């Protein structure tokens, strides 16, 4: 019998903010199944994030739980500048003409960009979306240093709100000065993963990886650097998705901005496609944005939200993410608990049709470790194993097992603290630290001892163990063994 810490195999990411940053609240969220804490570095103060990170690490050590830290960079988000005369809000009426200017607004019907030269890229007829797409304007004409636009959907705006230009194409820097500052701060915090916002291409991911390598004197092993999570929220990223998956460590389907950049009806199809591609590649994939959005103000989700979360699980997502629900909402703990409950129910149904039909990876290369992962899952299913146990340095072996979504728990044993936490992004994996292993025999003996100590197995259980020979060499998983617990 396997004793599980969590009820659901799908991992849950919670955005930390004023509603959840208190140490007592963080403790309850860890107990309720938070696998990854997310800091959105677009908002808040660095001092606040430092305090939250210290509390998270301390609580995780006390509870012996692998809570990972994901830091999202601000990205090249286009934002409004200040409003005329320092106004806190302005109502835009339908049919009204508004002028975008490169300078400071000189009247109440003028707006400006917070930074960046975007006026020269916007063409007549292009849509301009404000306030998360709630307000829509259409560009009409360029007049000197101003762009006139007609309000087609009315509403209220505030300073520094986001702007989306779904019809406008232009190059954005992979890392702005603000991104670089946030990246260096995230590395100082010891972030386990870095979220790259508004990725346009695989080249953006490579640029960020080069900056991390330049900034920190890392070993070449994957276990010694943070995951790079490519956030898919631009049409250009969807077009280059296969290459992005190959070079990124994980993918986030960020449906909020994606639904503003592309027709809304296309987003569910894109979500399914990206999740399937990530499954084939054995790369963790996160489904994010507005999953339980109504729970920011209500103690229970809508039926549509429950279906949305369940369908992401059915699709095969590794992780589900809560944003405003846990960062600024009124019911952060309840949102987490509700998501775990929905995921557990969805997984129970999903396992009724569980199989191993995962296609060849998108780069058409099958490594020995990939084959071992497939064989371990197939063997475990045939003999009715109670768990699959894998020894892993970088986490790669665990990913190659998890991609086949086995019914039984995946127990991952690693000597590295950061791999221990990064494994919390991967579906179905329960990580444990197992240091000081020098031989295969020693690994097998100590692995069984650890499982017994944590009451993960009992006498009579069967487990399938994967390991590498020689021990300790990255990418050398080449051994499968069936063990009956005595």
Three-class SS state of 18: coil
Domain boundary among 139, 164, 189: 164
pLDDT in the model for residue 406: 93
- The two tokens of residue 16 are 């930390």
Same domain flag for 151 and 257: no
Q: Which of 65, 127, 231, 403 is catalytic?
A: 231
Tokens of 372: 């071992």
pLDDT at 124 over 70: yes
Where does a domain end: 107, 139, 164?
164
Are 411 and 456 in contact by the 8 Å Cβ rule? The answer is yes
Residue 392 catalytic? no
**Is 47:71 a contact under the CB 8 Å cutoff?**
no
Residue 360 is predicted with a pLDDT of 53
The confidence score (pLDDT) of residue 241 equals 97
Check 6, 79, 367, 407 and give the catalytic one: 79
Q: Does 225 share its domain with 308?
A: yes
Q: Is residue 298 domain-shared with residue 194, that is, in the same domain?
A: yes
Residue tagged active-site, from 10, 101, 287, 289 = 289
Does some domain include residue 359? Answer: no
Closest among 280, 412, 416 to 358, alpha carbons compared: 280
User: CA 482 to CA 376: how far, in whole Å?
Assistant: 9
CA distance 432 to 428: 13
The catalytic residue among 11, 38, 255, 403 is 38
Task: Give yes or no: residues 68 and 97 share one domain.
Answer: no
CA dist 173 and 24 (Å) reads 39
Residue where one domain finishes, among candidates 349, 379, 413: 349
Contact by Cβ (8 Å): 111, 148: no
Task: Read off the pLDDT of residues 21-37 as tens digits, 9 standing for 90 and up.
Answer: 999 999 999 999 999 99
Is the pLDDT score of 278 beyond 90? Answer: yes
Residues 180 and 309 in one domain: yes
User: For residues 278-311, b (16+ Cβ closer than 10 Å) or e, as one string?
Assistant: bbbbbbbbbbbbbbbbbbbeeeebeeebbebbbe
- Do residues 68 and 425 make contact, with C-beta atoms less than 8 angstroms apart? yes
Question: Tens digits of per-residue pLDDT, 136-193?
Answer: 999 999 887 889 999 999 999 999 888 999 998 877 777 888 899 999 999 999 999 9
Residues 344 and 412 placed together within one structural domain of the fold: no
| Judgement on whether residues 410 and 389 belong to the same structural domain of the protein | yes
Active site residue 369: no
Model confidence over 457-480: pLDDT tens digits? 999 999 999 987 666 666 567 788
pLDDT of residue 219: 47
Statement to judge: residues 26 and 16 lie in one domain: yes
- For the question of residue 231 being annotated catalytic, the response is yes
Asked if residue 155 is part of any domain, the answer here is yes
| Same domain, residue pair 325 and 269 | yes
In a domain, 355, yes or no: no
Does residue 201 belong to any structural domain of this protein? Answer: yes
Domain region containing 430: 368-484
Residue 444 resides in a domain = yes
Q: Say if residue 223 is in the same domain as residue 311.
A: yes
Tell me if 356 is assigned to some domain: no
């Amino acid at each position: 019998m396997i004793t599980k810490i969590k009820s659901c195999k799908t991992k849950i990411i919670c955005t930390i903010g004023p509603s959840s940053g208190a140490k007592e609240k963080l403790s309850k969220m860890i107990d309720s199944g938070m696998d990854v804490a997310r800091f959105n570095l677009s908002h808040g103060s660095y001092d606040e994030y430092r305090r939250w990170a210290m509390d998270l690490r301390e609580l995780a050590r006390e509870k012996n739980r692998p809570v990972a830290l994901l830091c999202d960079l601000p990205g090249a988000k286009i934002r409004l500048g200040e409003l005329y005369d320092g106004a806190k809000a302005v109502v835009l009426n339908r049919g009204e003409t508004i002028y975008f200017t490169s300078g400071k607004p000189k009247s109440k019907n003028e707006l400006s960009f917070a930074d960046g030269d975007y006026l020269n890229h916007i063409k007549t007829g292009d849509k301009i979306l404000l306030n998360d797409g709630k307000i829509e304007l259409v560009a009409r004409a360029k007049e000197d240093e101003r762009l006139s636009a007609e309000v087609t959907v009315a509403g209220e705006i505030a300073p520094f709100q986001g702007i989306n230009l779904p019809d406008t194409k232009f190059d954005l820097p992979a890392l702005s000065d603000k991104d670089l500052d946030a990246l260096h701060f995230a590395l100082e915090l010891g972030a386990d993963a870095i979220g790259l916002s508004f990725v346009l291409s695989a080249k953006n991911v490579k640029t960020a990886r080069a900056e991390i390598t330049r900034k920190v004197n890392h070993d070449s092993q994957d276990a010694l650097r943070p995951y790079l999570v490519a956030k898919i929220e631009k049409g250009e990223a969807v077009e280059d998705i296969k290459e992005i998956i190959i070079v990124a460590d994980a993918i986030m389907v960020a449906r909020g901005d994606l639904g503003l950049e592309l027709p809304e009806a296309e987003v569910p199809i894109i979500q399914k496609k990206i999740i399937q591609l990530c499954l084939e590649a054995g790369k963790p994939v996160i489904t994010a944005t507005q999953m339980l959005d109504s729970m920011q103000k209500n103690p229970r989700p809508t039926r549509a939200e429950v279906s949305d979360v369940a369908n992401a699980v059915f699709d095969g997502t590794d992780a589900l993410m809560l944003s405003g629900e846990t960062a600024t909402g009124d019911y952060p703990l309840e949102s987490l608990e509700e998501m775990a409950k929905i995921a557990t129910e969805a997984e129970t149904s999903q396992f009724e049709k569980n199989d191993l039909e995962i296609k060849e990876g998108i780069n058409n290369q099958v490594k020995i470790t990939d084959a071992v992962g497939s064989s371990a899952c197939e063997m475990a299913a045939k003999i009715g194993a109670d768990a699959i146990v894998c020894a892993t340095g970088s986490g790669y072996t665990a990913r190659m097992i998890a991609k086949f979504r086995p019914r039984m728990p995946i127990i991952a044993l690693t000597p590295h603290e950061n791999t221990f936490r990064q494994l919390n992004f991967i579906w179905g994996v329960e990580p444990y630290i197992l240091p000081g292993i020098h031989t295969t025999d020693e690994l097998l003996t100590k692995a069984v001892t650890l499982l017994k100590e944590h009451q993960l197995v009992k006498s009579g259980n069967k487990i399938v163990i994967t390991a590498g020979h020689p021990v300790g060499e990255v990418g050398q998983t080449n051994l499968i063994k069936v063990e009956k617990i005595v």
